[in-house]
Amino acid sequence: MPELPEVETIRRYLWAELLGDTCTNVVIRRPDLRWPIDVSAVRRCIGRTVRDIRRRGKYLMVAYDRGHLIVHLGMSGRLGVVRRQDPPGPHDHVEWWFRSGKVLRLRDPRRFGSVFWTENDPCTHPRLAELGPEPFDRRLTGRRLYARSRGRKTSVKAFLMDARVIAGLGNIYTTEALFRAGIRPDRPVGDISQREWSRILRAIRSVLRAAIRAGGTSLRDYTRADGTPGMFQMRLSVYRRAGLPCIRCGTPVQMTRIAGRSTYFCPRCQR
């Protein structure tokens, strides 16, 4: 579900809510997520104080005095701050209780999410170590993407959704960025010029910035951590708009399938 803007929205909310608070208990109702939760490791949060909340790609990292909690929300995961007396639902798998009385609750119907604990640098965790640069990393340039894609045959959409190339992009924002850039999602990456890569990178950054400002995209599962929906779904240009007129030229938006994912584009604006 959540891509970078949704995770970033949750990160900012949790930062405001939990910084300086001390974990008093961890309740794990179902450890069988995408990767089985190491219960005794994750319980080491207890007695420690939240010092920072960071994000890497789609991973959230809660930095305690010593040690980091790493959370990935998969497709359907949600993190919310609730009160202890709010009864848990059938998909509320993990809770972190805090001295303030607040409870951080992980809900994930499909259980594609994951929870880890590490006392090392969280970015060296095996699940994070191979991640590519953050989209806003200054070292990431059109020239780098151009160089990285030489000799490759895959589509530009599949390439951008590969987290080893850029971290944090999923189906919605890759689709939207390629519309903004005017590039067909099925273009082979090897054929894309350096100038076009610069355009694609600018489009990625502008769509992510706008989505973060809007608090993310709420289509079905996702809401912000306080339960309010994001607003970016109102500004989607092509995503899930098959058959509807392109907002720029009126041509019907087309739907296709790339790398197993629904992909939308305007056959006239995107070349």
Partner DNA sequence: AGTGCGGCCTGTCCGC
Partner DNA sequence: TGCGGACAGGCCGCAC
Q: Indicate the burial class of 104 (C-beta count within 10 angstroms; 0-12, 13-18, 19 or more).
A: buried
**Minimal distance in Å, beta carbon 100 to DNA?**
28
Matching residue, tokens 């974990």: 23
Copy the structure tokens of residue 25: 């208990």
User: Residue 92 forms beta bridges with which residues?
Assistant: 107
Q: 65 Cβ partners below 8 Å, 6+ apart?
A: 48, 49, 51
- DSSP string of 64-85, one letter each residue: ESS-EEEEE-TTT-EEEEEETT
Query: Which residues of this chain interact with DNA, rule CB under 7 A?
Result: 1-3, 6, 32, 34, 57-58, 72, 74-76, 90-91, 109-112, 127, 152-155, 158-159, 163, 170-172, 189, 216-222, 259-262
Q: How far apart are CA 47 and CA 203, in angstroms?
A: 44
Q: In what order do the strands lie in the sheet with 59-64?
A: 50-56, 59-64, 68-72, 114-118
| Closest by CA position to 135, among listed 174, 167, 175 | 167
Catalytic residue positions, numbered: 2-3, 58, 261
| Closest by CA position to 176, among listed 155, 142, 146, 204 | 204
* Per-residue H/E/C for 123-167: HHCHHHHCCCCCCCCCCCCHHHHHHHHCCCCCEHHHHHCCCCCCC
